[in-house]
Amino acid sequence: MKADWKRIDLLRRNASELEADAIEQYLTGNVGRRELLRYGATIGMSGAVLATLGLVPETTPRAQAAPANQTIRAGIEVPASAVDPVTTGDAGGLCMLQQVGEFLCIDGPDLVLRPALATSWKPNAKGDVWTFSLRQGVKFHDGRPMTADDVVATFDRLANPKNASNALSAFKGVLAVGGTRKVDDHTVAFHLDAPNGNFPYYTSSDNYNAIIIPADFKGDYEKSFIGTGPFKLEKYTAKVGASFTRFDGYWGPKALPARTEFTFYQGMQSKVLALQGRQVDIIVPVAVQGGQAILHDPRFQIIRLRSAAHEQVHMRTDMGALRDKRVRRAIALSLDRKGLVAGLFQGLSDLGNDSPFAPVFPSTNTSVPQRTQDIKQAKELLAAAGHAKGVNIKLTTEKYIEIPDYAVLIQNFAKAIGVNITLKVESQSAYYGKAVFGQSDWLDSEMGITDYGHRGVPNVYLAAPLKSDGTWNAAHFKNPTYDRLVASYVAALDLAGQRAVSKEIETLLLDETPVIFGYFYNYLSAAVKGLKGAQPTAMAQLFLQNATLS
């Protein structure tokens, strides 16, 4: 370690309590280099501090070549509805938003927050007020400067229940209208509903609606596509495609490509065919299902990101045989997770340990042992629960990428221990129904499988699908101890504290097993061999400002 101990001592004395804790954790080896970087970024530890510790945040290596007048062509999913920073919530749409818009900070592929429109951020001691310093000299594409007013308006707009905001469910219990306050022209303070150690993620690219747009935005975003990003809109044709050009008034290093071109495709195969036919240079995202043709094709490169995206297999804790946690555990033990990952994802996936703590999260406590297939124990548990002769369960799920296959595999695994699963696979809209209890197969079914997209922190996964009052609690899991643990996890500002709680949460969930988390699959993109510097995120965003084609 190339650390200057004298300066470190000095640092310790001058650092805030949080920073001192992080430094301590790092020096004693409890926390690795990557984790410290990541955590340090969350609490707004300055680059100088990190540099002293011999650590510099990794950045995408920028091509040496001067900006070439290249056009980079990308193939993405067709935006499912009008592109609008307030309402958009689908992969194609949010990728469009991110082409022109920027966030206060960016959640990189390594889940480390990097400054973008904010240069630094700090929590108060309790963690319920976060103060962000904004970058100066940032201009919107129409030439107007970006100020604190725009930031306040952006977040108020998203937190307002009257605005059809897609971010509303994320902000629920975190940030309300009026919580975002201007301190001065370049400082904003977020007054939260409750302490939150991971709040900066809610202002990052993780919260894809939170691109900063002018305070006077009135709607009809597709007319302007206004933002502060390195590219500005050239042309947008709904359902067909879009093109963007370099924004010369950009505050940072200018984009390398002169132009980017996006073509919209419906479904995996059409994107793959477009890449094979060289109609585009990169496609995002690629699923293993349907992407087989290019996964092993030497003409293409696969950009692989570890992610927290997963499918939750919920089991109703208040209904039938599954009420007994031994039955739930038995089913979870019947799964051959390594086989699942190999079979469904050709190994391009992490294993799940029946809690939302994906291996990719630094706060995940890896000392909790991984659950593996154990048919003998599973059968014993079933027998102990009085189901030695077998039990019948109905699994309802949605038609979405690999989920029907996953359901068939679970059915096969469970059969080996005498659990007879009948499958009902329906369209996504039928499965989600009205998305409220009593009017949704998702929330009412005895057992089900539901898709969850990637998030930079586990907070959302921990709350809505598992807390007693959670609105997505399909397992109907009600456990006061769990609720308390989650509250303290969310409030914890230091990594050691988060890890201590996550160990308890992971252990509790392994015991109760309301939801099986079988795997956290990798987020894949595919590009032609000569493309360099293109940076997708596991949220379906695609940063092209550093991209070059050779």
Partner 1 sequence: MSGLRFVLRRVALSLVTLWLLSVIVFLGAQVLPGDVGRAILGPLADPRAVAALDHKLGVDRPLLVQYWDWSSHFVTGDMGRSLVYRQPVGPFLAAALANSLKLAAIAFLLVVPLGIFGGVVAAMNVGRALDRIITVTGLSMTVVPEFVSSIVLILIFGVWLEWLPVSASWREGAGAFTQFRHLLLPAVPLVLVLFGYIARMARAGTVEALDADYTRTAVMKGLPFRTVVWRHVLPNALLPTITVIATQMGYLIGGLVVVETVFHYQGIGSLIYNAAKAKDFPMLESGVLMIGVVYTIATLIADVLYSLLNPRIRFGGRE
Partner 2 sequence: MSEVTTASVAVETLRTVRRERLRVILRSPTFLAGAILVGFWILCALVGAAVVPVDPYATDLLHELAPPSAAHWFGTDQLGRDVFSRVIVGARDILTVAPLATLLGTTLGTALGLVTGYFGGIVDETISRLIEAVLALPLIVVALLALVAIGASDSTVVVVIGLVFTPVISRTVRAAVLAERSLDYVSAAELRGEGSLYIMFVEILPNVVPPILVETTVRLGYAIFAVASLSFLGFGIQPPSADWGLTIADNYGLIDGGFWWTVTFPAIAVASLVVGVNLLADGLSKALAE
Q: Binding of partner 1 at residue 234 (CB under 8 A)?
A: no
- Residue owning tokens 């409750």: 194
Number of residues in contact with partner 2, rule: CB under 8 A?
28
Question: Of 24, 128, 193, 426, which one interacts with partner 2 (CB under 8 A)?
Answer: 426
Q: Binding of partner 2 at residue 268 (CB under 8 A)?
A: yes
**At closest approach, how far in Å is the CB of 150 from partner 2?**
42
442 binds, among partner 1, partner 2, none (CB under 5 to 8 A by kind): partner 1
**At closest approach, how far in Å is the CB of 548 from partner 2?**
29
Spatial separation of the C-alpha atoms in residues 36 and 87, rounded to whole Å? 35
Spatial separation of the C-alpha atoms in residues 148 and 225, rounded to whole Å? 20
In the complex with partner 2, the residue whose CB is nearer, 67 or 404, is 404
Residues 468-507 that bind partner 1 (CB under 8 A): 472
**At closest approach, how far in Å is the CB of 82 from partner 1?**
4
Spatial separation of the C-alpha atoms in residues 532 and 549, rounded to whole Å? 6
172 binds, among partner 2, partner 1, none (CB under 5 to 8 A by kind): partner 1
In the complex with partner 1, the residue whose CB is nearer, 82 or 125, is 82
411 binds, among partner 1, partner 2, none (CB under 5 to 8 A by kind): partner 2
166 binds, among partner 1, partner 2, none (CB under 5 to 8 A by kind): partner 1
Which positions ≥6 away from 189 have C-beta within 8 Å?
Answer: 129, 130, 131, 132, 180, 181, 183
Question: Of 47, 57, 343, 359, which one interacts with partner 2 (CB under 8 A)?
Answer: 343
**At closest approach, how far in Å is the CB of 434 from partner 2?**
14
**At closest approach, how far in Å is the CB of 113 from partner 1?**
23
Q: Binding of partner 1 at residue 295 (CB under 8 A)?
A: no
Which positions ≥6 away from 442 have C-beta within 8 Å?
Answer: 396, 398, 431, 432, 433, 435, 448, 450, 474
User: What angle (nearest 5°) sits at the alpha carbon of residue 131, between those of residues 308 and 250?
Assistant: 75
The 3-state DSSP composition of the chain as helix, strand, coil percent (nearest 5) reads 35, 20, 45
Spatial separation of the C-alpha atoms in residues 168 and 160, rounded to whole Å? 7
Q: Binding of partner 2 at residue 272 (CB under 8 A)?
A: yes
Q: Binding of partner 1 at residue 361 (CB under 8 A)?
A: no
Q: How far is CA 105 from the centre of its chain?
A: 14
Q: Binding of partner 2 at residue 412 (CB under 8 A)?
A: yes
Q: Which amino acid is at 457?
A: V
Question: Of 405, 420, 434, 439, which one interacts with partner 2 (CB under 8 A)?
Answer: 405
Q: Binding of partner 1 at residue 297 (CB under 8 A)?
A: no
Spatial separation of the C-alpha atoms in residues 417 and 394, rounded to whole Å? 16
Question: Of 139, 172, 191, 338, which one interacts with partner 1 (CB under 8 A)?
Answer: 172
Q: Binding of partner 1 at residue 178 (CB under 8 A)?
A: no
277 binds, among partner 2, partner 1, none (CB under 5 to 8 A by kind): partner 1
Q: In what helix (H) or strand (E) does residue 221 lie, and over which residues does it extend? A: helix 221-224
Burial of 319 from C-beta contacts in 10 A (0-12 / 13-18 / 19+): middle
Extract the tokens encoding 197: 């150690």
**At closest approach, how far in Å is the CB of 343 from partner 2?**
4
Residues 277-306 that bind partner 2 (CB under 8 A): 289-290, 292-293
Q: Binding of partner 1 at residue 299 (CB under 8 A)?
A: no
Contact 74, 283 (CB under 8 A): yes
Tell me the CB-side half-sphere exposure of residue 323, using CA atoms within 13 A.
5
Contact 465, 314 (CB under 8 A): yes
Q: Which amino acid is at 474?
A: A
Q: Binding of partner 2 at residue 269 (CB under 8 A)?
A: yes
Spatial separation of the C-alpha atoms in residues 332 and 374, rounded to whole Å? 9
**At closest approach, how far in Å is the CB of 318 from partner 2?**
26
289 binds, among partner 1, partner 2, none (CB under 5 to 8 A by kind): partner 2
Where are the extended beta strands (E) located within 250-368? 259-265, 282-286, 300-305, 310-315, 349-351
Q: Binding of partner 1 at residue 461 (CB under 8 A)?
A: no
Q: Which stretch binds partner 2 (CB under 8 A): 129-137, 148-156, 271-279, 534-542?
A: 271-279
Burial code (b: 16+ CB inside 10 Å, e: under 16) for 321-351 equals bbebbbbbbbbbbbbbbeebbeebbeebbbb
Question: Of 131, 279, 377, 507, which one interacts with partner 1 (CB under 8 A)?
Answer: 279
Extract the tokens encoding 430: 């039928």
**At closest approach, how far in Å is the CB of 271 from partner 2?**
11
Question: Of 119, 124, 377, 411, which one interacts with partner 2 (CB under 8 A)?
Answer: 411
Q: Binding of partner 1 at residue 164 (CB under 8 A)?
A: yes
Spatial separation of the C-alpha atoms in residues 522 and 358, rounded to whole Å? 11
Q: Binding of partner 2 at residue 276 (CB under 8 A)?
A: yes
Can you give the binding site for partner 1, defined by CB under 8 A? 80-82, 84, 87, 89-90, 161-166, 168-169, 172, 220, 222, 238-241, 263, 265-267, 269-270, 273-274, 277, 279, 427-430, 432-436, 442, 464, 472
Can you give the binding site for partner 2, defined by CB under 8 A? 268-269, 272-273, 276, 289-290, 292-293, 336, 339-340, 342-343, 399, 404-405, 407-409, 411-412, 423-427, 430
